[in-house]
Amino acid sequence: MQCEICGIEIRGRSQRITLEGTTLEVCNKCAQLGRPIKIWTPTPQKASPAGKAVYNKRTRRDVFDTLEEELVTGYDSIIREARERQGLTIEELAAKINEKASLVRKIERGNIHPEDSVRKKLEHTLQIKLTEEVAKEEYTERTAGKTTTLGDIAIIKRR
């Protein structure tokens, strides 16, 4: 193999360069006269995946699990049974928690959900638990216009 510029016999590896639009196989010395042809290597380009990473991050923030305390179903009978177990009338229980008997009666009938302060007093007085932790997935930032991503599908299937 001879250098296409100076004509010497190339020992070892020849260099491939472009010089004025032509590709030449040359010796190491002559390689400096032209531009080396870059050999393609599968190194990942840093520019393009950046946008994708940002998008993934945002998707994760859109959908996340939170634990919420929720009033248990059947809280009304739990209260009534606990009250009866302690031998209290509605009036006596109401007096203990410093609330109106009519309110306690409505709660025991399931007509109204006790507000947090009342619920805590009932739980404390009757030694009961009226809430359970419920895992909720929030979709607050997702709007109808957004396209569904694979991540979204995975989450929907998991439910």
Residue burial 63-101, b: 16+ Cβ < 10 Å; e: rest: beeeeeeeeeeebbebbbebbeeeebebeebbebbebee
13 or 109: CB nearest Zn ion: 13
Q: Shortest approach of Zn ion to residue 25 CB, angstroms? A: 10
- Cβ proximity to Zn ion: between 23 and 111 the closer is 23
Residue 5 or 128: the one with the smaller Cβ distance to Zn ion is 5
Instruction: Report the nearest approach of Zn ion to the CB of residue 31 (Å).
Output: 8
Least gap, CB of 3 to Zn ion (angstroms):
3
Residues with Cβ within 8 Å of residue 74, at least 6 apart in sequence = none
Q: Which residues lie closer than 8 Å to 121 by C-beta, 6 or more apart?
A: 97, 98, 99
Shortest separation between residue 29's beta carbon and Zn ion, angstroms? 5
Residues that bind Zn ion (CB under 5 A): 3, 5-6, 26-27, 30
Number of Cβ within a 10 Å radius of residue 132: 12
Smallest distance, Å, CB 8 to Zn ion? 6
Instruction: Select 3 or 107, whichever has its Cβ closest to Zn ion.
Output: 3
> Mapping DSSP to helix (H, G, I), strand (E, B) and coil, where does residue 5 land?
coil
Residue among 29 and 61 whose Cβ is closer to Zn ion: 29
Six-digit token string for 40: 């393609």
Determine contact, residues 136/65, Cβ cutoff 8 Å. Answer: yes
